[in-house]
Structure 1
Amino acid sequence: MKRWAALVRYLDDGHLPIDNNWIGNQIRPWALGRNNWLFAGSLRSGQRAANVMTLIQSAKIKGLDPQAYLRDVLERLPTARQSDLAALLPHNWSPPIKV
């Protein structure tokens, strides 16, 4: 009964997945390795590693080449304005236009 609203929403729109198994399988490798990365040197190092791993996995989920994505972002980042940072996230990023 607690989840009745979600069930009704799923039944109203057949395009909605009934579970989140797909995304769970996508993040599982990172979650399983979490204990291995506890000793990244310091808390800040662990947080940095988690941020980079999140960007890589997000790029993979969006169908991007993580290496090309990170290379471009790291090249643009030093000159990017604060207001332009959202465009560098994987779900907003577009590859540079080659001339």
Structure 2
Amino acid sequence: MTIIETVKMNGLAPQAYLADILTRIHDHKINRLDELLPWNWAPTTETLSETA
């Protein structure tokens, strides 16, 4: 629940955020994991088109 609440507090849709993160994390560089935190996350164009 903590990650869901953090995502909501950052004004993001939890389902879109989690789907994107789970898709991207496997090949994301370990020294850039901070980019995937809710307060730094930027959706990909694919994620944007799925939520529209």
Larger radius of gyration: 1
- State the Cα distance separating 1:54 from its structure 2 match: 1.8
What amino acid is the match of 1:64? L
Aligned to 1:72: 20
**5+ long unaligned stretches in structure 2:** none
- Looking at structure 2, the residues matched to 57 and 77 of structure 1 have their Cα atoms a distance apart, in angstroms, of 20
What amino acid is the match of 1:90? P
- State the Cα distance separating 1:55 from its structure 2 match: 1.5
What amino acid is the match of 2:12? L
- Looking at structure 2, the residues matched to 75 and 59 of structure 1 have their Cα atoms a distance apart, in angstroms, of 17
Pick aligned residue for 1:88 from 22, 36, 44: 36
- Aligned-pair identity in percent equals 45
- Looking at structure 1, the residues matched to 32 and 19 of structure 2 have their Cα atoms a distance apart, in angstroms, of 17
Give the number of equivalent residue pairs: 47
Higher relative contact order (CA 8 A, sep 6+): 2
